[in-house]
Structure 1
Amino acid sequence: MIHKRLKYFLWYYSIYCILLIGTGIYLGNIVNKDLFEATPPTSGQEFMSVVLQHNLTNFAMYLLGFLLSPLFQIMDFGGSSFVITMGFRTLGAQEALSKLIPHGLLEFPNMLFYQGISQYVLFTLIYTKSMKAALGVMKKMIPYYLLSLVILIIAAFIEGYDSLLFSIMINHRWFY
């Protein structure tokens, strides 16, 4: 029974995420890019603290607010794909990638993961019509939540400090 539910959920979640990201990219491509201005990122401990606080707040929002997780994800993934698309359009591919990598390689898949867990808890509630079953899924997911939390902390540290290093490496053509 759980495998059937998981299979349905994975199909739904994959399509949902593709539609959100596609919508954000589409909107990012039709909006006048002259309305946006790229600001240079800051780095260091203060920026890392801001990123960490934002990441932890976002994580807690999905953990505790699983009933609204599809709406939260519209804002997060739709908004992120829009902003990333605008970054590519205003900064160019190389500069935009230097702002996304390396922290984005951890942060974006991890966001998909913990947002997916949140939606799976909601999906379980809808499918079984049992809060007890949904809370049981949450309890089983505790190790995954903890893993996701550790990844968020690492990504915030990397974003705060290593984005500057990666920009230097890109500008000095260390990768090609």
Structure 2
Amino acid sequence: MNRSKKIIIYALAYSIALVLFIFMCHRLFDFYSETEILEHPSVEYNSFVNIWKHNTQNFISYMLVFPIYPVLILMDFIGSAMPIVASIEINGVSKTLIALLPHGIIEIPNFILYSFLSGEMFLIFWRTRNLSIFNEIKKRRYYYLISYLLLIVAAAVEGMVTPIILKQIN
């Protein structure tokens, strides 16, 4: 099976698993509180930088710590699902989607791409048990480069565009 088909299958499986995880979190946890999750962050360069740093750490983890890929995926499901569920319960579905869509359109497919690459590295590593796997990363360097550039764009949108949209709807 070629890589494109594998990525599509992975993206579908990932999306279904994340949605199921969000529903599970919704059933198991009560996040309702008087605190509003979707605050009005100021549109600042610092917001972009903080988001970029966080997303870069995640990206590097997937790229270099691929032997524990299942742990990384689980942590990301938790880290993604819990705030989404909390925001839906507190702010409603519409506001949550409005807050997620501008950067999520870029960030979620990109996350699927680089987590897929990490999954490939995970499988190759555990099959070969060889640290020369870094040659495999090198073969995929253009995918990683494109993915990282998309990460920067998504961080800029999340840090500088989403706050403007949230101010408009509140």
The two structures share one fold, judged by TM-score above 0.5: yes
**CA drift at 1:97:** 1.5
**CA drift at 1:16:** 5.9
Q: Are the structure 2 counterparts of residues 156 and 138 from structure 1 closer, same or farther at C-alpha, using a change threshold of 3 Å?
A: same
Q: Which runs of 5+ in 1 are unaligned?
A: 172-176
Partner AA of 2:139 in structure 1: K
1:108 aligns with: 108
Percent identical across equivalent pairs? 27
Q: How big is each residue's C-alpha offset from its partner over 1:10-36, in whole Å with a ceiling of 9 and x where there is no partner?
A: 767754663354123311233113257
Output aligned runs, 1:32-111, within 5 Å.
32-35=30-33, 37-39=35-37, 40-42=39-41, 43-111=43-111
Partner AA of 1:156 in structure 2: A
TM-score (norm 2): 0.82
Are 1:29 and 1:85, in contact at CA under 8 Å, matched by a contact in 2? no
* Partner Cα distance (1:14, 1:125) in 2: 24
TM-score (norm 1): 0.80
* Partner Cα distance (1:70, 1:16) in 2: 12
* Partner Cα distance (2:21, 2:125) in 1: 27
Give the CA RMSD over aligned residues. 2.8
Q: Are the structure 2 counterparts of residues 125 and 6 from structure 1 closer, same or farther at C-alpha, using a change threshold of 3 Å?
A: farther
Runs (4 or more) in structure 1 with deviation over 6 Å come to 4-10
Moved more, 77-86 or 153-162: 77-86
Residue aligned with 1:32, SS:
coil
Q: How big is each residue's C-alpha offset from its partner over 1:69-96, in whole Å with a ceiling of 9 and x where there is no partner?
A: 2101101123302321221121012211
* Partner Cα distance (2:46, 2:96) in 1: 22
